[in-house]
Structure 1
């Protein structure tokens, strides 16, 4: 059977599936305003994901905090950025708005029974056991593992610089990916993945790095996954993968099998060490979150313990989160290369903090090598402001889906106009409606963040004297808090009693509620550690290379759901991810 016939057959089945589904879920979104459907197959959906920064923000500016958009084959969906509506979706009515079956089943097939593949009581049990694992005390415990890995990254980049102190163009994106993988391997799993040594990188790290790229190749098949899982056994699903003329599908299956095998090896290795009283993780007697997780699970009651399959499922779930941190690391260095004043201010702040320790220890001449404690690292005001502002303005993931499991009503903070031109402060949501949470739109909301919400301005997080605004629980929520009463009026992201329900400074970058990103504190720590380590010794600027016509190399960030940095023609193809920056050793003139 030819590929064309197979695609036709799949599309026919999908059309039938959609039609049957619509009969049981009548359209109730007729009065919600939005753009016209553009394509019969993809609706407007492709515009949200394909370099969709301006399209997403333009829809919200035109229609408000709830917009009707068309998905595949005309399915009507809601793009939501209104703060009160999102409070209901992710906190108050989270038992109504669930992860989609497509999302859950895909994650289960690839990563196992981890947090991003479970719902209901199973998910609650996993969160209850894992939340304490990511406590501040445990972040302090794993920082001694994080710091040497960041130092190793510095050494790898310094090795590419000329001895005479000249500038070299270095693509920071692959290095960001490698250091993120080693940080997750060392601090989270307690193993060495050797990602910073390209010739020795472990199979597990190589496989994780391939997953996202391979998944994009089979994106068109994702809507069929729930139907296939419910109606066909594993045996017949494997047969279909063998028969379909889709090599990328077989590649995805092999990657999934490799991830499962590697995760089981890690789990049994760490479990055996724990049972035999071995407390060392890789590279010495340091703590990893995997060891902490196994100890917590072992000490819990029989009812609260996770099964081996659930624990194995967490391993690759935690590793895949490195994709989003990778783009955040590359993005912040690109911003600092563009904003030279901010780079100098950050470098000077870090030097001051390290020098204070170096003077006490009598090693002023080597202040760059002085490690910062966790509490010092996370409390440096300008470093914190740079990280928060970058994650606010450029969230690594711009959209997240939920589905209404029953009829519901979304109350709105700000009224929208219906298709009849009338104002309304609530939207009826029929059961089965797909809700697209606009993280991007939420983080750019000018009512919440000010008229300069579209600008990168870390000073919004600081007082006039340069201190942090809203330290501690006034900025970040504890897990499972309901976002009520923790944020002071005037804190960034809280204006006139209105705020978003995010766990990270009210922004929606890491979501909110019980399905908020469990590793956001670890992500913040690793990003700050890499910044503090590299900025102390290196200077970054935008690429200076020009072609024969004098055209300078330019980096462009596409927002394709995920951030995708590319080099524009004539220097690049505009498709391949890359962040080339000019790098040299820092000089005295690079400090304030």
Structure 2
């Protein structure tokens, strides 16, 4: 009788288990209830409908919904089933049950490489613990104290633009995407952890500022975030048990060095915050930045020891603040709409110019002054609806489940179904942008940019379970975007300052502006210059009031 060595026995057992797991995976797919749902035929034997879906979020996906209804089956890797649904009842179920429906392990790994184990990445009890400590820092009370920072940095950006326009004969052509990102980095630096990147100074004509260590580390780790450009990166994402054995790539080394730099500087910021809080006896007026508020909440004597965040957990929020706070897609799309529609730009400017900005207390007491500007509020809401930065989100079922539906579907056997049976490991795709632009919810003009829709009566439909303004831009449920108020007030401050002083005109025809469809965030681009990546070219000139 042939006997195997211990090593060979282990290898044989592992091989048998791998074969069993693969066969079980295919069996579960072949017998999955999702296979009876209507849906498009697979576009590719390996990738399924993935590229077709991502590259046609504004068109193809809506055509599929018109043909198959709000809930249908999509083909993923090797033709495996995914559920796509824009049914409000299904949305509510998935977003509310965040222990049952989580981000995919691969998605958490990729995002975690950039931001670490912060609130954007962790799940279940760890997410609940981090969120509970962080919530007060993102509440209205604390954000009121940060509004002055938003306005201060917005003015600095305005001065840069006006200076460049003056040096170019009265008008300057700008790609506003990096311009807004520069301002946002300075804003999140000061508002997030009382750290001044001086990016706007470095970006000005004087050039006296420098991109410091933390800025450089953030840029490097963000640029190295795309692991899917090589086979080793794909293996890291797809096969977790291989990660310890794979050789380190240049991307790995760049990320490790950048993360070490962010950790070292973050530790210094954390220690400074702790010292200030201890020295002040916990007084809230010592520092207004989000990190200090987070540290103060974490040190509160009423927080049980088991519910406190470790220093590593607190440090993980520094890159989280940077990544989330650095996102300014909405500002670029608002500028596009104002440049495309001069009458909207004029109406908004008239409202903003009516404000008495010389009043010393303006913007010093609260953010309520910005929120009181009704047409500005309409413009911001319409931008967030029509140009949701993140077009789609997905969750993985952690166990078998039954999802209720508001609108039943007819399966391929002709049976009407008012629920969807989903199995552990299957994906639920939720098309944020498509729901935000659904004519059945928003009316026949849903694809148009109309700020006035927010002044209509009756009120906008409340069937969408979003955390803000009856839309899915910031999603909903326990994992809704914690910083949505921060984003809204930041955008309002930028628009208030810039539109009062500058006029915008598109530097390319409006129909030349498209979206980079495969990006996680929907960035603008110029169709005839795709090779240049994200762009929003705009002519900026100073606004001169009529005599």
TM range (shorter): 0.7 to 0.9
How far, CA to CA, are the matches of 2:350 and 2:434 in structure 1?
33
- Partners of 2:283 and 2:178 in 1: CA distance: 29
Alignment partner of 1:57 is 2:62? yes
Match of residue 471 from structure 2: 507
1:405 Cα deviation from its structure 2 partner = 1.3
Asked if residue 179 in structure 1 is aligned to residue 183 in structure 2, the reply is yes
Change (3 A) 1:192 1:19: farther
Q: CA deviation at 1:18?
A: 5.8
Q: Residue 303 of structure 1: SS of its match in structure 2?
A: helix
| Contact 1:168 1:582 (8 Å CA) reproduced | yes
Shift of 1:75: 2.0
Separation (CA, whole Å) in 2 of partners of 1:296 and 1:130: 8
Quote the Cα distance in structure 1 between the aligned partners of 2:394 and 2:22. 18
In the TM superposition, residue 418 of structure 1 has moved relative to its aligned partner by 2.3
Which of 366, 382, 390 lines up with 1:389 in the alignment? 382
Following superposition, the deviation at residue 106 of structure 1 comes to 3.1
Q: Does the Cα contact within 8 Å between 2:35 and 2:81 map onto a contact in 1?
A: no
Match of 1:314 in 2: 317
For the structure 1 residues 301 and 249, does the alpha-carbon distance in structure 2 shift closer, same or farther, using more than 3 Å as the test? closer
1:57-79: CA deviations, max 9, x gaps? Answer: 22222212112111122221111
Deviation, 1:165, is 6.4
Determine the structure 2 residue equivalent to 1:290: 291
Identify which of 525, 549, 553 aligns with 2:489. Answer: 525
- What TM-score results when the alignment is normalised by the length of structure 2? 0.87
Distance 2:268 2:68 in 1: 51
Distance 1:264 1:328, change over 3 A: same
CA contact (8 A) 1:389 1:458 kept: yes
1:86 to 83, 91, 99: 91
**Alpha-carbon distance between aligned partners in 2 of 1:23 and 1:110, rounded to the nearest angstrom:** 36
Q: Sort the Cα spacing of 1:533 and 1:370 in 2 relative to 1 into closer, same or farther, 3 A.
A: same
Partner residue in 1 for 2:41: 36
- Whole-angstrom distance in 2 between the partners of 1:17 and 1:200: 54
State which drifts further: 203-212 or 373-382.
Answer: 203-212
Q: Any residues of structure 2 matched to 1:187-226 within 5 Å, and which?
A: 187-196=191-200, 197-198=202-203, 199-218=209-228, 224-225=235-236
- Once the two structures are overlaid, the 10-residue window that deviates more, 97-106 or 403-412, is 97-106
In the alignment, is residue 542 of structure 1 matched against residue 506 of structure 2?
Answer: yes
> Would the alpha carbon gap of residues 404 and 288 (structure 1) be closer, same or farther in structure 2, given more than 3 Å must change?
same
Which consecutive unaligned segments of at least 5 residues does structure 2 have? 1-17, 204-208
How do residues 4-403 of structure 1 correspond to structure 2 at under 5 angstroms?
Answer: 21-23=25-27, 26-50=31-55, 52-91=57-96, 93-162=97-166, 166-196=170-200, 197-198=202-203, 199-218=209-228, 224-225=235-236, 228-229=239-240, 231=241, 237=244, 240-242=246-248, 247-277=250-280, 287-299=288-300, 300-323=303-326, 325-352=327-354, 354-355=355-356, 358=358, 373-403=366-396
Alpha carbons 1:88, 1:94 under 8 Å: kept: no
2 CA distance for matches of 1:51 and 1:195? 35
Q: Is the 8 A contact 2:382 2:451 kept in 1?
A: yes
Is the Cα contact below 8 Å between 2:40 and 2:74 reproduced in 1? yes
Provide the rounded CA distance (Å) in 2 between the counterparts of 1:278 and 1:320.
32
Structure 1-normalised TM-score? 0.80
Check whether the contact 2:280–2:286 (CA below 8 A) recurs between aligned residues: no
User: Could you tell me how far 1:397 is from its partner in structure 2?
Assistant: 0.6
Is 1:493 the counterpart of 2:498? The answer is no
Quick one: distance in 2 between partners of 1:418 and 1:337? 46
